[in-house]
Amino acid sequence: VNRPVETDVLIIGAGSGGKPLAGELGRAGIPTLVVEQALVGGECPYVACIPSKSMLVQGRHHVLAGPHTDAQHRAAWTQAVDVRDRTVRHRDDTHAAQVLTSDGAGLLRGRAQVQPDRSVRVGDTTIRWRRALVIATGSAVAIPSLDGLDTVPYWTSEDALSTDERPDRLLIMGGGPIGCELAQVYASFGSRVTLVQSGPQLLSREPAWLAAALAVSLGELGIDVRTSATAASVRASADGVALEVPGVGTLHADRLLVATGKTPRTAGLGLEHLDLATEGPLAVDERLRVRTTSGHVLPDVFAIGDVTAIAAYTHTANYHARTVAAHLLGSGLDADHTGIPRVVYTDPAVLCVGLTADQAAEGGIDAVTARFDARETSRSAVERTAQRTWGSPEAQRPGAVELVADRATGILIGASAIGPEADSWAAELALAVRARMRVHDLAQQLHAFPSWTEAIHPPARELAEKIGP
């Protein structure tokens, strides 16, 4: 019988949460073992964030150099795929694994499962944790129940970001961040893309005006955006797939991409032996310790990243890793989920943070809002004049900022921005929401002239005036 392996901290999953946590604990000299069943680094560097940004950036260069013939689109696509694959190190995690072990953490490859005696099994190895078990298993693609879907081949985002195929006609189900980004990627390289969204707008939880502006931009790229369009069935056709959408008709494509969301990976892990949820997200307290199904907190079991379903982004998983490390290293900090930026890297890009006006109203907050059209900034005038001369197709790209403040306190509780590179310049708004800044103070901030950030000043000032001193 193999003797069980013992470690202070056992982490299941070496992704955006588990890997930096293992590294930080390893560097601090805490015996730490991380179990990974697939790639060290998780989905982000290989099949999610990084390849999608690589293709978006390249697609943008390609579009600006256009217009193109189909042959030119295809040649550019082949080149872009090569750059993408080099950027993601051809999905080889050797370097990531080396970084992890040189930080002092142990790595065990395999699939971890919690056992009835509170140990964890990986193949023939039994592991016991002395101080903490950290569940950092991420999320899996959620496949909707759609009549016929099990009979047709379809892509997930992972396929769409690993393939070298560029379909002539691509049908995307799901108008969330991933569906919108991948629609832009493929349309940039000449695919005819139809984006089908069941709800009344893209980005269902963000403000309707912003989603409408994004839909206009995607439309200008040639994407056929269909909202309030719920697929009823799908079947194989002679040349691909046919999606039946009541009220719209039959949509034909060479490929179908399912991008309808992700689901926390809690099933099949043996979590029932810890009295934890085996479906849906793991509930956590402010130190990211898990709550059992009966509601009490396990002092030595933590959950971080997508498996918690709290703002499923790499920056959240990184933050969770820092929070658990601080707890285990003694300088504990409570997790504060205020001000996590929600970004879509389309062009124009989207950055939203905190509450939308609708969410504030639902929460019973008396909120005031102000919106400003970024095309009124000096930067926009400079860009538009240049664009007209250089013939680039983006002169009409929208840009706008909306701020939401609590009337009672004047505190900025939410913000939404869309515009060129809004993912970067609107980050100031995430800081302001997280710092619980009053709009009066935000209105006193100096913004570099002539930068896009100047779009923040007018609505901040308008809100300060509306609210009064």
Ligand X SMILES: Cc1cc2nc3c(=O)[nH]c(=O)nc-3n(C[C@H](O)[C@H](O)[C@H](O)COP(=O)(O)OP(=O)(O)OC[C@H]3O[C@@H](n4cnc5c(N)ncnc54)[C@H](O)[C@@H]3O)c2cc1C
- Return residues touching ligand X (CB under 6 A): 12-18, 35-39, 42-44, 48-49, 52-53, 111-112, 136-138, 157, 178, 265, 269, 305-307, 312-315, 317, 345
Residue 111 or 461: which CB sits closer to ligand X?
111
Shortest gap between Cβ of 380 and ligand X (angstroms)? Answer: 25
* Strand pairing report for 297-303 and 289-291: antiparallel
The DSSP 8-state label assigned to residue 206 in this structure reads: S
Shortest gap between Cβ of 457 and ligand X (angstroms)? Answer: 28
Shortest gap between Cβ of 388 and ligand X (angstroms)? Answer: 32
Residue 77 or 345: which CB sits closer to ligand X?
345
- Assess contact for 263 and 250: CB atoms under 8 A: no
Phi-psi region of 34 (alpha: psi -120 to 50; beta: other; left: phi over 0): beta
Cα angle 138, 144, 146 (rounded to 5 degrees) comes to 165
Shortest gap between Cβ of 52 and ligand X (angstroms)? Answer: 5
Residue 182 CA to its chain's centroid (Å): 13
Place of tokens 């949820």: 277
What's the token pair of residue 450? 């002539």
Q: ω before 398 within 30° of 0 (cis)? A: no
Residue 68 or 111: which CB sits closer to ligand X?
111
Residue 88 or 443: which CB sits closer to ligand X?
88
Question: What Cα–Cα distance (Å) separates residue 52 from each residue in 60, 210, 397, 438, 446?
Answer: 12, 22, 21, 36, 34
List the one residue out of 431, 441, 430 whose CA is nearest residue 463. 441
Shortest gap between Cβ of 395 and ligand X (angstroms)? Answer: 27
3-state SS string for 181-231 = HHHHHHHHCCCEEEEECCCCCCCCCCCHHHHHHHHHHHHHCCCEEECCCCC
Shortest gap between Cβ of 146 and ligand X (angstroms)? Answer: 19
Residue 35 or 328: which CB sits closer to ligand X?
35
Shortest gap between Cβ of 311 and ligand X (angstroms)? Answer: 8
The whole-angstrom separation of Cα 381 and Cα 188 is 25
- Assess contact for 371 and 459: CB atoms under 8 A: yes
Residue 49 or 225: which CB sits closer to ligand X?
49
What's the token pair of residue 416? 């939404």
Residue 252 or 273: which CB sits closer to ligand X?
273
